[in-house]
Structure 1
């Protein structure tokens, strides 16, 4: 089969399209014909050797996929060949075929488009986990979503609306993305590159601040977020796209009962796969009921993985980028 390998860490040019051995499922695994593999910032971190869960060389990138089951191991009980599934793959998803544990493979209705399902696996799972289980957001609370035009951000905005949240604000790093975020339902948009965005949020909220913030940026935005976080508010940090250190002062937390919560869906699925299933089941239901629309900026053929990475890294994307084997792209 064809797939992508990383033999050395570096820029997007290190993604090599090559022949790979066909994977064979172990007794508790599922073999999937990949119809779509989403491109995530975690893949970029892995390519650079910076992923917090590790990515020893050589490796096939990709955390998740959607496709059709080709074969199953002897101890797989609830999945059969021909099933449409989404999965967190065991050894990379940037390939024509992928392996996944049955505990991290989820059947989806055949009415759901597999490319959109691929786009949803990680970002919708992450957004649902943060909003429902970490922030425990209520309908009468307010929310700020950083990078709201991206994969997690645009999906989180829709999920929050589905939960009844009305006062949703977004941030972007490019002014041309503001219209897109407002179309999704944000009532105000700020520029996360601006040193004054926290003051802008305070002004937009009549000096109340927001109850929940989702932040994949890290760095100086942590202190700024705490400035516009309401008393008893929850700041969920799920990345460090800015690659900057943060100078957090403890009194910014305890003086007004504010909370910072770290979120890694990758770690969560490794140590709590049973709870992940509950989260992904909710995502599948949202997709089946058309309560969320997965926004796909572009589908790249698998052999153009380097271009897909570069487009995401340059932050030129609205929503998601998905890789599709060339034979299935037509």
Structure 2
């Protein structure tokens, strides 16, 4: 079968199209004929070997697929690796049936990006009705869904950041009440101004560096910042615990694989709620580009340049 494989760690240049043996299902595995594979920031870190968990070589990247099982079910599924291929193995515990009327790319957008946004809002910052929410990278895969979910969950004011005028316009179209240039010289002041002169209640941050530092300073008493990525590849300053107490602030981290370990099938509940919002027109996935499998390098280059909007996918059938 055709697949993208890396035999050394590095940037997009190490992604190579190759022919590999068919995956062999073990007991309980689902063999998925891949219709679309999702492309995520985490994939770029895994290819570099800068991810939260280390990877071995050779490696077929890709942690999510949408397609058909051998018994004909349409599913979207998390996979340990191997998504950038014509066929992949998935666990039934991380596979979800795609409802009628939902396309594969939308289902993929909901699985990692949507579930991330849902868990951040429901479990990390525990968004209360009427509270303000800052969504950094508000036109990105997670951000574009977080803006909409925050409104659906009763946020009082949603402030989105983005680095270009068209991305800020998209965030407003999706329901943001105000937008901020992500390159603002003083992010603290920009966020407070966008929140009508008030400090903000919650922040969803995947940027890192000074944006994280300055967002912390924008928090109101009992404000919460949830950190789930470092797209800038710049670490924030170390947090001084007395400062958290001084401002009654909370900082949390989130890595989606841990959400699958929570009791009560949290990710399953998230998917069911989001599928229902999609079907009723209250949530839409922003689809940022569908690349043939042999253009995986281009997908990674575009994602790393932060020039994309919404969800990127690979098409193994093309």
TM-score normalised according to structure 2 size: 0.94
Distance 1:222 1:252, change over 3 A: farther
Matches within 5 A, 1:78-93: 81-93=71-83
**Aligned residue for 1:30?**
30
| CA offsets 1:129-149 (integer angstroms, 9 cap, x no match) | 111122111221000000111
Report the alpha carbon displacement of residue 64 of structure 1 after superposing the two structures with TM: 0.7
- Answer whether contact 2:4 2:17 (CA < 8 A) is retained: yes
**Aligned residue for 2:98?**
108
Matches within 5 A, 1:5-16: 5-16=5-16
User: Separation in 1 of the partners of 2:128 and 2:114?
Assistant: 18
**Aligned residue for 1:220?**
210
Report the alpha carbon displacement of residue 272 of structure 1 after superposing the two structures with TM: 6.3
**Aligned residue for 1:50?**
50
Distance 1:142 1:264, change over 3 A: same
- Answer whether contact 2:79 2:90 (CA < 8 A) is retained: yes
Report the alpha carbon displacement of residue 226 of structure 1 after superposing the two structures with TM: 1.5
Report the alpha carbon displacement of residue 11 of structure 1 after superposing the two structures with TM: 1.6
Report the alpha carbon displacement of residue 202 of structure 1 after superposing the two structures with TM: 1.3
| CA offsets 1:175-214 (integer angstroms, 9 cap, x no match) | 3321111111112111222231210221232332111100
Report the alpha carbon displacement of residue 258 of structure 1 after superposing the two structures with TM: 0.7
Q: Does 1:295 align with 2:286?
A: yes
- Answer whether contact 2:159 2:195 (CA < 8 A) is retained: no
Gaps of 5+ in 1: 71-80
How many aligned residue pairs are there? Answer: 317
Give the CA RMSD over aligned residues: 1.7
**Aligned residue for 2:273?**
282
- Answer whether contact 1:171 1:189 (CA < 8 A) is retained: yes
Report the alpha carbon displacement of residue 271 of structure 1 after superposing the two structures with TM: 7.0
User: Separation in 2 of the partners of 1:124 and 1:302?
Assistant: 23
Report the alpha carbon displacement of residue 5 of structure 1 after superposing the two structures with TM: 0.5
| CA offsets 1:136-180 (integer angstroms, 9 cap, x no match) | 112210000001110000011111111122410011123332111
Q: Does 1:204 align with 2:194?
A: yes
**Aligned residue for 1:163?**
153
Question: Secondary structure, in 3 states, of the residue corresponding to 2:75?
Answer: strand
Gaps of 5+ in 2: none
Question: Secondary structure, in 3 states, of the residue corresponding to 2:10?
Answer: coil
User: Separation in 2 of the partners of 1:135 and 1:18?
Assistant: 43
**Aligned residue for 1:19?**
19
Q: Does 1:120 align with 2:110?
A: yes
User: Separation in 2 of the partners of 1:279 and 1:119?
Assistant: 13
**Aligned residue for 1:322?**
313
- Answer whether contact 1:226 1:252 (CA < 8 A) is retained: no
| CA offsets 1:6-48 (integer angstroms, 9 cap, x no match) | 1111121111111111112211111111111111000000111
**Aligned residue for 1:67?**
67
User: Separation in 1 of the partners of 2:80 and 2:205?
Assistant: 27
**Equivalent of residue 255 in structure 2, options 242, 247, 264:** 264
- Answer whether contact 1:302 1:323 (CA < 8 A) is retained: yes
TM-score normalised according to structure 1 size: 0.91
